[in-house]
Chain A
Amino acid sequence: MSTAESDRRSGQRAVLEIDHLTVELAGGRRAARVVDDVSLAVFPREIVGLIGESGSGKTMTALSILRLLPRAASIAGGEIRLGGASLTSMSEAELRRIRGRRIAMIPQNPMSAMNPVLRIGAQVGEPYVLHRGVRWTDAVAQAVRLLRDVHLPLPEERAVEYPHQFSGGMQQRAMTAMAIALEPQLLIADEPTTALDVTIQAQVLRLLLEIRDRHGTATLLITHDLGVIAEMCDWVYVMYAGRILEQGSVERIFARPSHPYTQALMRATPTVDATDADLASIPGSIPSPFELPAGCRFADRCPSRFERCEREPLLLDVEASHSARCWLLEDGRE
């Protein structure tokens, strides 16, 4: 752990620890590393953001936690721990007891993430049946309560409906209800606001905060939207092409973005008073995991690159609670 990490909530035990995780994707002769030596931690009552463009490896990282990677992908190295216990070396049976109960996931695309031929009540109540051996009628009753907790109006009527009868926002809430059913220690929210309109987005985010307040849940919030990070998160990891490029407390990162990529992201995010001239998109595109450059992965698109960048940079401290993977930080070159 870098000094930045150890500054954080010292004395507390992390709920989730990801240590040097590497995930490989099979395909062709060589395997590609979609997640490369990624380390992160989430503490109790914390909302940690994982931000990156699509293809950066964020979802793969999340799926690794629950070992739900697609068949072509596999964990090639590193360890993931929940409250000290190793998830990566657990048996499938033990892991099954953790899924949905101590770690829950709210996946992307709530519409396709729900079974189209089962009623909402049954799906939301399923965790009770799976983990507490409850009868279905009781599970559905619990589901109604959960739907009420996520502020879905008329939950008794909603519970007998099917997913396609729900709007996007309602589906997101139903998935959230499903996730918090057994009051998990860790909640993984994958792009909870994508494909929702702004007003609904705000409601969903507010719901996540409420869950944090009420249950003390630790949350890993995955998004590509800086605005969401700013609003919600205590700590953030910036991910790019499978690597963490910058990490730190949200105040520090926003006050002093140190990695050129983070800086570019901030410039590219529209604010209310931005003019067209201010908005800049980042030229180039994220490298494919099969064709990763030898040195710094962002070098091709980086305006500040220099010769040192041909070697992969280390994670260097910017200040307390803040570090970045960039040679510009060495010897105070910044």
Chain B
Amino acid sequence: MLRVILIRLAVFVPTLLATSLVLFITVNVVPGSAARAALGIDATPQAIARFEAEQGLDRPLHVQYLDWLWGALRGDFGTSFQNHLPVGRELLARLPVTLELAALAFIIANLIALPFGALAAYHHQRRVDTGMSFLATVMGSVPNFWLATLLILILSLKLRVLPAGGYVALREDPARNLSLMLMPAISLGVVSSALLFRIMRAKMIEVLSSDYIRTALAKGAATGVVLWRHALRNGLITFLTVGAVEFGWLFGGVVIIEDIFLLPGVGQLVLVGIINRDYPVLLASALTVTVVVLTANMLVDLLAALLDPRHVHVRALR
């Protein structure tokens, strides 16, 4: 079992590093852009040169990267161009918000996708299945920020049931926190649930047509028993390996949703970084979101591997 965990970590760490490298290069690829962004378009070449010297932006790219990386590993993500405050601290303060949002969205998405996916697979090729699959396609085509807007329109403005934006820490006021998080989580979760539904349905169809299901029936098991003891267990495990892929879409939407609902999370920080042309902030927050995604993927994959006695999950080239 330890071996399974270690193998995954061994693959995970280089992936994180590579990710940080790609983001770093992307942000810094256009020479002078950072300086121009901070100082304005009309900055004189001398001002740019001075800025770059100060910030160490005139050094070769790989030196910059290693320097940045070394700092990042210690929690030092540089200082914001805008307000000259350490980025790391800001990130830390905002991280719990994003994590809570992501977790709630994830729970909602799976709560919908798993049972309905299993149900659709069970009624495969019958109208229930066709209907549900069509519904899933429809739900999955809704832009999550439109759903957010509609939810605000109906629940906040018309019915006045939920507040439209803002944030209160969970520790301070759990009830209010959840009432503020509900619509954002639904906006993110419902749309993602559509794809998760498809995956679960596909896996369950595979499982239900397996020989061992027939064996269980031949032993005299009732449908419920067969589904629960034999089908779902296998279906869930195979689902976990694939379902992880969806985190990218789920978490990526965090940026827009936090913007709409005025949630002070890391996603919002990305936008702040863009609007203020604050490259250290942009880089650090984008990286954080990506790392959260990758970590979630890795953990789910690990969970699947630990649950599956065959330990044969190879995540090469999914």
Contacts and interface: CB of A to CB of B under 8 A. Distances in A.
Do the two chains belong together in a single complex? yes
B120 to A, nearest CB: 15
Contacts of A114: 212, 215
Given A118-B230, A130-B221, A162 B214 contact: no
Give the one of B125, B216, B307 with max A CB within 10 A: B216
A104 B221 contact: no
A127 B218 CA distance: 10
A295 B19 CA distance: 70
A104 B215 CA distance: 10
Contacts of B234: 115-117
B309 A117 contact: yes
Contacts of A66: 217-218
A130 B215 CA distance: 13
B309 A98 contact: no
B219 A100 contact: yes
Interface string A104-124: 110101001111111000000
Contacts of A127: 219-220
B210 A112 contact: yes
Contact of A107 (B215, B233, B237): B215
10 contacts: A99-B219, A100-B221, A104-B218, A113-B211, A113-B215, A115-B233, A116-B212, A117-B237, A126-B221, A178-B215
Contacts, number: 76
Interface string B219-233: 111100100011001
Given A116-B310, A126-B219, A175-B215, 17 more contacts: A66-B218, A68-B218, A97-B220, A100-B218, A113-B212, A114-B212, A115-B216, A115-B230, A115-B233, A116-B212, A116-B234, A126-B221, A127-B219, A127-B220, A130-B219, A130-B225, A164-B310
Given A107-B211, A112-B210, A112-B212, A99 B309 contact: no
Contacts of B308: 116-117
| Interface size bracket, A side | 20 to 34
Contacts of A104: 218-219
B220 A164 contact: no
A177 to B, nearest CB: 12
Given A96-B220, A98-B220, A126-B219, A113 B214 contact: yes
A109 B215 CA distance: 11
A71 B208 CA distance: 12
Contacts of A98: 220
> For the complex, would chain B's binding face be called helix, strand, loop or mixed by DSSP majority?
helix
A117 B216 CA distance: 13
A115 B217 CA distance: 12
B305 to A, nearest CB: 12
Contacts of B218: 66, 68, 99-100, 104-105, 107
A256 interface: no
9 nearest CB pairs, A to B: A100-B219, A100-B220, A99-B220, A112-B211, A162-B309, A115-B212, A113-B211, A105-B218, A113-B215
A98 B220 CA distance: 7
Nearest to A111: B211
A94 to B, nearest CB: 11
Contacts of A113: 211-212, 214-215
A86 B218 CA distance: 18
Interface string B179-217: 000000000000000000000000000000011101111
B317 to A, nearest CB: 23
Nearest to B307: A117
B40 to A, nearest CB: 61
A71 B126 CA distance: 11
Contacts of A118: 229-230, 233
Contacts of A116: 212, 234, 308-310
Interface in A152-184: 162, 164, 175, 178
B313 to A, nearest CB: 13
Give the one of A105, A107, A116, A164 with max B CB within 10 A: A116
Contact of B211 (A100, A109, A117, A162): A109
A164 B214 CA distance: 18
A131 interface: yes
B225 A164 contact: no
B309 A131 contact: no
A101 interface: yes
Given A116-B234, A117-B237, A162 B310 contact: yes
A138 B221 CA distance: 18
Given A116-B234, A117-B237, A96 B222 contact: yes
Interface in A277-320: none
A293 to B, nearest CB: 32
A117 B304 CA distance: 12
A163 to B, nearest CB: 9
Contacts of B214: 68, 107, 113
B106 to A, nearest CB: 24
A159 B42 CA distance: 77
Nearest to B308: A117
